[in-house]
Amino acid sequence: MQEHFDVIVIGGGGAGMMCAFTAGRRGRRVALLEHNDRVGKKIAISGGGRCNFTNLGASAENFLSERPDFCKSALARFTPWDFVALVERHGIAYHEKKLGQQFCDGSSSAIIGMLLAECAAARVEVLCGVRVLDVKKTGRFHLTTGGGALTCDSLVVATGGLSFAKLGATDFGHRLAREFGHRVTPLRPALVPLTFSAEDQPLHVLSGLSIPVVARCADAQFEEAMLFTHRGISGPAILQISSYWRDGDLIKFDLDAGNIEASLRAARATGRDIAGVLSEHMPRRFAEAWCARHAPSKPLVHYKQSEFDAVIALLHAWPLQPAGTEGYPKAEVTLGGVDTGGLSSKTMESRHVPGLYFIGEVVDVTGWLGGYNFQWAWASGNAAGQAA
């Protein structure tokens, strides 16, 4: 005996829960399937445990995709303010950290509890520990699961990307998309730390140091903090630029976050050395390591004009060529996914298979760091939930 639902959502993350209760509110009988023992595991660890649940400035410009305009429709119809209103209705205290980023005052478990409460109110059947083994379509969708057979009229795939395998991430959604005739764009880790090349490996002695930079690569630039690690570079500036970086690319860093150049020019006629001046604006350990590589050890007054100009130029465009990334275990998201050319931008429904929907991170829409990927989860989940 197969149990039948109007809608089955595979994946109990943010997008899946949003979609499930949105469809349930329309009177649809909905099952939410999660293969982990509980829903929202990625939500739980996000934002250092406080959940950076949206960004008030979210727009299509903050997302990467082969088709950059695809996300506009869903984002316009469910805005950051719509999600903030939901948070406020549930009495969850929150604050803006910086740059439009909204965080819970307390634990991210408040957001998970809110989404589960909405699912309960919409009579969604939340089934954890249920792994989908196979999906077929003969009129209806037929799901073979570890807990038995299920059928549905609408099937929503909200299985996420490849990041955080330890939280249960798999390629199931991408495999399912291909089985139903969808193209999957090239996949790679994004919002991920980068590793040193052999040439830059000596910089590992700076591990733990953070400096403000402007990171530039492939026509993208981000003004944020850069963190040195034992294996490479991380911090917000690096996580952001990593989504644009490709193997072999140089990243150029503007280290003059204040008035370093002006200080150097003012000290030019003195007997001071560059490391001493730089140390007034950045950690001494970094200043000394940088000067040991790039600035001759002598008083500024002894610098030839060409030497001084070269140091100033390097200060504004210090190049590093990473060897690679830390990979999916350290990546916050997966870049790429189900080709949006095969989906409706209004409903997220497949153009190839009626009744099949793809939402959230499994889709080729990847946001910046800072709450953007959650906003895509809410917006795409809402779009599919209104239609499925």
Query: Both 15 and 107 in a single domain?
Result: yes
Confidence at residue 372, expressed as pLDDT on a 0 to 100 scale:
98
Compute the C-alpha angle 80/374/99, nearest 5°. 60
pLDDT (tens digit per residue) in 301-311: 999 999 999 99
Q: Which domain holds residue 373?
A: 3-188+331-385
Q: Are 376 and 367 in contact (CB under 8 A)?
A: yes
Query: Both 81 and 159 in a single domain?
Result: yes
Q: Who's near 127: CB < 8 A, 6+ residues apart?
A: 31, 32, 33, 34, 147
Q: Are 383 and 75 in contact (CB under 8 A)?
A: no
Confidence at residue 43, expressed as pLDDT on a 0 to 100 scale:
97
Query: Both 263 and 159 in a single domain?
Result: no
Query: Both 319 and 339 in a single domain?
Result: no
Listed in sequence order, the DSSP H helices in 182-242 are 236-242
Q: Are 361 and 334 in contact (CB under 8 A)?
A: yes
Query: Both 180 and 214 in a single domain?
Result: no
Residue spans of the chain under pLDDT 50? none
- What is the number of other CB atoms lying within 10 angstroms of the CB of residue 157? 31
Strands 251-254 and 210-217 come out as antiparallel
pLDDT (tens digit per residue) in 118-155: 999 999 999 999 999 999 999 999 999 998 999 999 99
Query: Both 294 and 321 in a single domain?
Result: yes
The CATH number of whichever domain residue 373 belongs to comes to 3.50.50.60
Considering only CA atoms, which of 120, 121, 84 is closest in space to residue 104? Answer: 84
Per the structure, the count of domains in the chain is 2
Could you say which of 295, 325, 355 is where a domain stops?
A: 325
Could you say which of 325, 349, 376 is where a domain stops?
A: 325
Query: Both 338 and 272 in a single domain?
Result: no
The CATH number of whichever domain residue 269 belongs to comes to 2.40.30.10
CA distance 332 to 86: 25
Return the biggest CA–CA distance within the chain. 88
Confidence at residue 164, expressed as pLDDT on a 0 to 100 scale:
87
Could you say which of 281, 306, 325 is where a domain stops?
A: 325
Query: Both 207 and 150 in a single domain?
Result: no
Query: Both 318 and 355 in a single domain?
Result: no
